[in-house]
Amino acid sequence: RCSVDNRVTRVAWLNRSSILYAGNDKWCLDPRVVLLANTKTQYSIQIQDVDVYDEGPYTCSVQTDNHPKTSRVHLIVQVSPKITEISSDISINEGGNVSLTCIATGRPDPTITWRHISPRAVGFVSEDEYLEITGITREQSGEYECSASNDVAAPVVQRVKVTVNYPPYISDAKSTGVPVGQKGILQCEASAVPSAEFQWFKDDKRLAEGQKGLKVENEAFFSRLTFFNVSEQDYGNYTCVASNQLGNTNASMILYEETTPALTPWKGPGAVHDGNNGAWRRAGAAWLLPLSLANLLLKF
């Protein structure tokens, strides 16, 4: 907008050295530039669909009876942040080095930060376009979020998934006691990336799925060996082996016989217990002696 008065005889708008409008006459070919007002008090133009190339100085030139005057305004074009380049998802072995890149544009230049999306992570891991991780650990796997912000609009974010591969680690494998004829279960839990493959051995013999009386169930993080009807031959040492392309590990556990304690019915005072005859007999005699003496005294 350019304010004028009745002393003005001629008006024009210029962009740098190019004339946009002179009075009501349009001098530029850009259809986005239009004349809004040419009155005794105001001479205004409008630039539609502003682009970054429109940024720069604009001059309102007026001619009066005495001498020409100019008024200058500088147009600053702001642009929301936009991430134009970001690293792809990556898979790397534990101990390797990772380099992530996030490039963004905007006016003013956006601030870029990297954040690890993890409950254990605190704050930003990088305040730069580049994120370098040396000797990555399995705890550093997960998603990393790049954020570009310049206060023109809400920050834009994109994520990169980092998968850290590591060999199996067996976290739980316990021996189990089961009575003969009952159902028994041995379980082996292991964490690994990629997921571990499980095998079971008794001594040096591998146990196969479908073997009579046995069932092997393998999931992503555990394997279960089920005995439907435990016999004497089933007792012994078992080995669980977990492996992936990075290595393998094993754990041994024992399936042992667990006896159920027999319940002996109570037979009253003086009863004889099969397991401790002398003790029960002595207890019975000690109880009967006062009773016999009492009966004897009553007779007299």
Residue 129 Cα to chain centre, angstroms = 22
Burial 34-63 (b: 16+ CB within 10 A, else e): ebeeeeeeebbbebeeeeeeeeeebbbbbe
Average pLDDT, the chain: 85
Provide the pLDDT for residue 67.
82
CA dihedral 42, 45, 50, 53 (to 10 degrees): -110
- Which overall architecture, per CATH, does domain 78-165 show? Sandwich (2.60)
- Percent of the chain past pLDDT 70, that is, above it, reads 86
Structure tokens, 17 = 């050295």
* CATH 2.60.40.10 domain locations along the chain: 1-73, 78-165, 174-255
Place of tokens 């994109």: 158
Residues 116-164 have pLDDT tens digits of 998 877 678 889 999 999 999 999 999 999 999 998 999 999 999 999 9
Give how far Cα 149 sits from Cα of 53, 103, 115, 156, 232, Å. 22, 12, 14, 7, 70
- Whether the CB-CB separation of 64 and 11 falls below 8 Å is answered with no
Residues 223-256 have pLDDT tens digits of 999 999 999 999 999 999 999 999 999 999 999 9
Provide the pLDDT for residue 300.
40
Task: Give the model's confidence band at 203: pLDDT under 50 very low, under 70 low, under 90 confident, else very high.
Answer: confident
Residues 27-45 have pLDDT tens digits of 999 999 999 999 989 999 9
Structure tokens, 34 = 């239009």
Provide the pLDDT for residue 197.
95
Task: Give the model's confidence band at 94: pLDDT under 50 very low, under 70 low, under 90 confident, else very high.
Answer: very high
Provide the pLDDT for residue 73.
94
Give the mean pLDDT of 270-282: 33
pLDDT(284) > 50: no
Residues 95-116 have pLDDT tens digits of 999 999 999 999 999 999 999 9
Rounded Cα gap, residues 167 and 94, in angstroms: 9
Rounded Cα gap, residues 77 and 54, in angstroms: 7
Which one of 1.20.1250.20, 3.30.470.30, 3.30.470.20, 2.60.40.10 gives the CATH number of domain 1-73?
Answer: 2.60.40.10
Give the mean pLDDT of 189-195: 95
Task: Give the model's confidence band at 260: pLDDT under 50 very low, under 70 low, under 90 confident, else very high.
Answer: low
Rounded Cα gap, residues 12 and 22, in angstroms: 4
Which one of 2.40.320.10, 2.60.40.10, 2.40.30.10, 3.20.20.140 gives the CATH number of domain 174-255?
Answer: 2.60.40.10
Task: Give the model's confidence band at 208: pLDDT under 50 very low, under 70 low, under 90 confident, else very high.
Answer: confident
pLDDT(282) > 80: no
Assessment of whether the complete model's pTM goes beyond 0.85? no
- Percent of the chain past pLDDT 90, that is, above it, reads 71
Rounded Cα gap, residues 215 and 192, in angstroms: 23
pLDDT(276) > 60: no
